[in-house]
Amino acid sequence: MSRKSAIESRAAIYLANSAYGKPVDMEQALSKCQKYLSKHRDLKLMRIYIDENTSVVRTPGNNGRRTPLGVAGNDAWRRLLRDTETLAIETIVIYSARTVAPSISGLANIIREYFVPCKIRFIDVEAGFDSETGDIEGYLKKKTSEYRSTLYGKKVNP
């Protein structure tokens, strides 16, 4: 066993409703995140942050897309980021990318400009993505394709 795998990473689950596509069943999302953590003993669940609110923003071009309040500065999101800054949280587990930001560019900014430089591990349970072992740019490219297909009603090639 490597030294790194023996060290526990302090993890948090962040849950929010979907910004696009089908709304998230919060109980099911929490259950899947907890199941993921139970299979990964190197992750120790410290906190769960829940943003049950979404706002519907109607601007030209977005057709009333739901916007998670977390990205806009919801208290749960701010607490999560503050806890990563104080190193109380080292790993963020989300159910789905669509719960973090209203657009993939927003998600990409969060990952590239904050999580990567701060060495925050990022896990998307629905996509089966872990930034510790996965290709972040490949993940974002796939999410961009899924996002576009959801908005424009086109099927995504598997």
pLDDT score of 104: 77
Helix, strand, coil shares, percent, the chain, to 5? 40, 20, 40
pLDDT score of 63: 54
For residue 99, what are the contacts with CB-CB under 8 A and spacing of at least 6?
Answer: 14, 15, 16, 17, 18, 19, 24, 29, 68, 70
Beta-bridged to residue 10, according to DSSP, are 44
How far is CA 81 from each of CA 22, 108, 114, rounded to the nearest angstrom? Answer: 26, 16, 9
Q: What is the mean pLDDT of each run of 10 residues along the chain (158 residues)?
A: 61 84 85 96 94 56 50 71 92 89 81 91 95 92 76 51
Beta-bridged to residue 48, according to DSSP, are 13
Q: Is the dihedral of CA 121, 18, 112, 130 positive or negative?
A: positive
DSSP state of 154: P
The greatest distance separating any two alpha carbons of the chain, rounded to the nearest whole angstrom, comes to: 54
Report the SS3 class of residue 68. Answer: strand
pLDDT score of 11: 97
What count of residues does the chain have? 158
